[in-house]
Chains A and B, each alone.
Chain A
């Protein structure tokens, strides 16, 4: 992942050459896609239990947003969290091992798919209660403001979560106190089996902050370049002025979780998005069109990503089971 880390190390991704940035994005998105596909397979094989919510289709959002982040910024999301973790640069091995419930997992098997953290990478979870993360993300912003550290909280939520009351309590507080928070609404059209039209009286979700004076913008969440550009502007706004909302129009290809056959929508609807709006295909076409990559170099990325994901899966399959003594650690500082 040499190139990827290079662009990241520059901190302000804005200044890296455009083709490096886009190749990074391609690699990161592909990594998430392949990782999630593999997680789905491991679930099918019974190696992953419980819930497993895949991010497939939404890769451009976590990756494009991350390209506007600086070290020190925080990310927080709900249970559909694998993609954000990989985008934040967390080792795929420890994520996959958490899914398989092994001791080498990032939460040592105690968190599971929905509850993973990496404070080191600024990733604050991983939350199972819909909407809870929105208030927490607001608190991350509060801390940034208090410490005057210039950091921004990237607070994600879904189109379903946006109907939770605490979201609006948080919006009001964030604008009142001018907290550096970018609220990212990942509008993938569905909350479990309920479409946005069936759950929301106002379906233009970027408008949800307007009565609090929080500006909002709708972004094509299937286009990583658009996401990145919107993110850079939003982060600037958050750092200097206060909260802002980005509504990402996107789509989840798979069921809500691995156990959801997704019968509430037609196959055609899914196929239409997959074939016409796929974020990875879209970027690939752009890279080829602009001569930033050829078959061979993309193939090379493909191969590398496949290898990393295969290694992560192997690691997660063979890592030792958790130690029973772990049950009692970290309930409190001292057991």
Chain B
């Protein structure tokens, strides 16, 4: 057992898979010599050499296109797109090429690749470097989408993503890179499509992802201490496929559900979950599902403004308290 930062866990997860499988290659901007702009890939070049760990020009379309071409012919590339926002620059590959290859070719062509990137705000990077892009990824049949909230999940989900026979969008959160957590020694392999209950509760279910998981946990502590409200916290972790069993089980137990989403409101991942709950667990509910999201606006750069946009612990506590005590 060792304490690892989220950023070191990224390198550890990739290293674990590269050591195991020679077909795994890693490419992206400044990932090799510089160890990544987020310093999440330090040491990989030294460990696996320049053939397998490659710095690229600033050419996102070529990065994803090359990753796809390599995946179609048997390699298992991990491609970094640095900031989540830059996915838009190479969106054709995300939207039209990679997810549809297996389907359109009658299974002849597979794309076992991982696209990883850092999303999320709180770092004052402004509207073009801070977005949560879950819904940019979730909407295409053929893509899997995961987002770890802790170092151990980073390692385990990375392994699961690399070993998966289909393309996986691996969303890291920039605000979590410096956070730490215990990571067991030895090989760690997690399972895509599984949520985790991080805190047991009986009065309501809070479903969160990425950085919002930490805020949900902090809010649950305060709800218990200050208002005697017992909140269960579910880290959804995997948006496609999604662990409806864990989610619906928790809702059946508590009868109230809140999502905490960093993304702008319209078409956030929580809307999909709420719609599943409405379909399948309507009669378990004691009140309306409530989504706590960023408003539907671009993210401002100034610290004071940015802090008002992204759901805060205060906002989560206040929203839930009001809903449950009125």
Q: Which residues of A contact B (CB under 8 A)?
A: 49-51, 101-102, 105, 107, 109-115, 127-131, 160-161, 163-165, 191-194, 198-200, 264, 321-322, 324, 326-328, 331
- On chain B, the residues within 8 Å of A326 by CB distance are 300, 305
Residues in B301-326 with C-beta less than 8 Å from chain A: 301-305, 308-309
- Classify chain B: how many residues form its interface, as a range: 35 or more
What's the Cα separation between A328 and B308 when bound, in Å? 11
Q: List 19 extra interface pairs beyond A50-B123, A51-B129, A163-B57, CB under 8 A.
A: A49-B124, A50-B301, A107-B301, A110-B298, A110-B301, A111-B127, A112-B125, A112-B301, A113-B126, A115-B128, A128-B85, A129-B86, A129-B88, A161-B58, A163-B59, A199-B57, A321-B302, A327-B308, A328-B295
Q: Is the CB of A114 within 8 A of B128?
A: yes
- On chain B, the residues within 8 Å of A49 by CB distance are 123-124, 303
Q: What are 28 pairs between A and B in contact, CB < 8 Å? A: A50-B124, A50-B301, A51-B129, A101-B124, A101-B303, A102-B302, A107-B301, A109-B302, A112-B126, A112-B300, A114-B128, A129-B89, A131-B89, A160-B58, A163-B58, A164-B60, A191-B58, A192-B29, A193-B30, A194-B55, A199-B58, A264-B34, A322-B305, A324-B304, A326-B305, A327-B300, A328-B297, A331-B298
Q: Is the CB of B29 within 8 A of A115?
A: no
- Give the shortest distance, in Å, between B232 (CB) and chain A (any CB): 32
Residue of B whose beta carbon sits closest to that of A329 = B297
Given contacts A163-B59, A165-B59, A194-B55, contact A114 B33 (CB under 8 A): no
B61 contacts A by Cβ under 8 Å: yes
B62 contacts A by Cβ under 8 Å: yes
Given contacts A51-B129, A327-B300, contact A112 B124 (CB under 8 A): yes
What's the Cα separation between A109 and B307 when bound, in Å? 13
Given contacts A50-B123, A163-B58, contact A322 B302 (CB under 8 A): yes
What's the Cα separation between A163 and B29 when bound, in Å? 12
- Give the shortest distance, in Å, between B259 (CB) and chain A (any CB): 21
B178 contacts A by Cβ under 8 Å: no
B198 contacts A by Cβ under 8 Å: no
**Contact residue among B58, B60, B308 (Cβ-Cβ distance under 8 Å from A324):** B308
Residue of A whose beta carbon sits closest to that of B37 = A192
What's the Cα separation between A12 and B126 when bound, in Å? 37
What's the Cα separation between A101 and B86 when bound, in Å? 24
Residue of B whose beta carbon sits closest to that of A199 = B57
Q: Is the CB of B301 within 8 A of A130?
A: no
Q: Is the CB of A130 within 8 A of B58?
A: yes
**Contact residue among B61, B129, B296, B302 (Cβ-Cβ distance under 8 Å from A165):** B61
- On chain B, the residues within 8 Å of A194 by CB distance are 29-30, 33-34, 55, 57
- On chain A, the residues within 8 Å of B88 by CB distance are 129
- Give the shortest distance, in Å, between A206 (CB) and chain B (any CB): 18
- On chain B, the residues within 8 Å of A200 by CB distance are 57
- Give the shortest distance, in Å, between B92 (CB) and chain A (any CB): 11
- On chain A, the residues within 8 Å of B309 by CB distance are 327
- Give the shortest distance, in Å, between A77 (CB) and chain B (any CB): 14
- Give the shortest distance, in Å, between B160 (CB) and chain A (any CB): 30
Q: Is the CB of B302 within 8 A of A101?
A: yes
Q: Output the residue of B59, B89, B126, B295 with the most chain A CB within 10 A.
A: B126
- Give the shortest distance, in Å, between B136 (CB) and chain A (any CB): 14
What's the Cα separation between A191 and B56 when bound, in Å? 11
What's the Cα separation between A105 and B301 when bound, in Å? 11
What's the Cα separation between A81 and B124 when bound, in Å? 17
What's the Cα separation between A161 and B29 when bound, in Å? 12
Residue of A whose beta carbon sits closest to that of B89 = A129
What's the Cα separation between A158 and B249 when bound, in Å? 53
Residue of B whose beta carbon sits closest to that of A51 = B125
Q: Is the CB of A50 within 8 A of B125?
A: yes
What's the Cα separation between A111 and B298 when bound, in Å? 10
Residues in B119-134 with C-beta less than 8 Å from chain A: 123-129
**Contact residue among B59, B61, B126 (Cβ-Cβ distance under 8 Å from A128):** B126
Q: Is the CB of B305 within 8 A of A324?
A: yes
Given contacts A129-B86, A326-B305, contact A109 B300 (CB under 8 A): yes
- Give the shortest distance, in Å, between B257 (CB) and chain A (any CB): 27
What's the Cα separation between A326 and B297 when bound, in Å? 11
Q: Is the CB of B58 within 8 A of A111?
A: no
- Give the shortest distance, in Å, between A311 (CB) and chain B (any CB): 21
**Contact residue among B34, B123, B302 (Cβ-Cβ distance under 8 Å from A193):** B34
Residue of B whose beta carbon sits closest to that of A165 = B61
- Give the shortest distance, in Å, between B46 (CB) and chain A (any CB): 15
